[in-house]
Amino acid sequence: MKKQLIIIGGGASGLMAGITAAREGAEVTILEHMERVGKKILSTGNGRCNMTNLSLRAEHYRCTQKQFPMKVLDRFSVWDTLAFFDEIGIVTKNKNGYIYPNSEQASAVLDTLRMEAERLGIAIRLSCQVKSIRKKGRQEFFVDTDQGMVCGNRLILATGSKAAPVTGSDGSGYDLAKRLGHTVITPLPALVQLRCEGNYYKQLAGIRCEAVIKLLCDGRTLAADQGEVQLTDYGISGIPTFQVSRFASVALAEGKAVTAELDFLPSKSMEDTRLFLKKRAAAMPERMAGDFLVGVLNRKLAGVLLKLSGIALDQPVRDIAKPSLEKLTMKLKQFQTRVIATNSFEQAQVCCGGVDTREIRPETMESRVVPGLYLVGELLDVDGVCGGYNLQWAWSTGAVAGRSAGRDEG
């Protein structure tokens, strides 16, 4: 029997699911509540769309059920994804394993998905608000919308998370999943900036520097990363901050105190830094302390670290006391700042939390709670690190669900 498949959500995972199912012979209808599909795809990779990553391993994903993401990703791999996009017309560019469309235009990824959906005759209803979902019989779904009733024998929820709601993912999918009987692990912002305590941040806004960032909580290191940290007027941003941010989100939600520790001289050990400062002080005793780190660190950042070490900027370097030099070593290598909060869902790129994957079959993405219902993409309790891993999750879950939901079982 030909499958009639309804997909709620026309983002990355929904479009992939629709195309895969239509290729299996299903009649597909996508219900999208925005005025166009795939809005979020357009903002990915700063408008260039980091589609996937050639180096994909289990540690790139977080999920309460640790084994779950790879079970799905192995069923529709990075290579399957590249073959799929090649087939629909995307020539890719490989930047150290990070994959982009050759045109470096996210719109190209969306355009090719739209064109393929159109070629396959997928019906797309835009600005369509879902009011309720009813299930009658074994596999009959009735979706009541402001554009009338839509019926099908398979349903895919591809509504995304709560991150960047301006693109359409406003969290309404969590309610739909809950109403259908699913459990939702509290969604929290991830891949997001961290707001930190300290009255010096206003001075530091706009500075970018190579650093190691470690998140500390209850005497443990929760996560660490290295790269270009951006200092802002409220705290820290940049890729390494994003990479550790979901751990801050979770710990803060549990009411724990979280500290970010920055190493501003990652190429030198603590001991090397100590010796380096000692030698430098001996080599330039007549310089003003305010100029002591010129050529080492951004001047404004150096000024803040010197002051926090109790060093007056207008004294000669020769007058810097030994304990102050030691303090400066510590500030350079282990600058600690209390994390008060993350930025909100509006600024987050993804969410951690979502529909509990224990309720989903990884072989098909079908719900264990409601037969005939499938859940895909960021709606689930899986979040990847920066680097193309979240879109890969959307492509893989979409394809696995589409393949199963669309299959004509005769």
Contact residues for ligand FAD, defined by CB under 6 A = 8-14, 31-34, 37, 39-40, 43-45, 49-50, 130, 158-160, 163-164, 167-169, 172-173, 349-350, 377-379, 388-391, 394
CB of 320 to ligand FAD, least distance (A): 44
Handedness of CA 175, 177, 178, 179 (dihedral sign): positive
The residue among 350 and 373 lying less far from ligand FAD, judged by its C-beta, is: 350
**CA atoms of 5 and 406, how far apart (whole Å):** 7
Residue 271 has, within 13 A of its CA and on its CB side, a CA count of 0
The residue among 31 and 365 lying less far from ligand FAD, judged by its C-beta, is: 31
The residue among 167 and 334 lying less far from ligand FAD, judged by its C-beta, is: 167
Cα dist from 83 to 14, 90, 92, 341, whole Å: 19, 9, 10, 41
The residue among 82 and 296 lying less far from ligand FAD, judged by its C-beta, is: 82
Beta strands 154-157 and 373-375, pairing class: parallel
Nearest to 22 by CA among 4, 41, 1, 10: 4
The residue among 153 and 161 lying less far from ligand FAD, judged by its C-beta, is: 161
CB of 132 to ligand FAD, least distance (A): 11
Sequence-separated (6 or more) residues with CB below 8 Å from residue 105? 47, 48, 49
The residue behind tokens 């404004």 is 300
- Give me the residue whose beta carbon is nearest to ligand FAD: 11
Q: Is 270 exposed, middle or buried (0-12, 13-18, 19+ CB in 10 A)?
A: middle
The residue among 21 and 164 lying less far from ligand FAD, judged by its C-beta, is: 164
Handedness of CA 4, 407, 381, 88 (dihedral sign): negative
CB of 218 to ligand FAD, least distance (A): 30
Beta strands 61-63 and 382-384, pairing class: antiparallel
CB of 171 to ligand FAD, least distance (A): 8
The residue behind tokens 């264990």 is 368
DSSP-assigned letter for residue 138: T
CB of 368 to ligand FAD, least distance (A): 20
CB of 123 to ligand FAD, least distance (A): 14
The residue among 377 and 402 lying less far from ligand FAD, judged by its C-beta, is: 377
CB of 98 to ligand FAD, least distance (A): 9
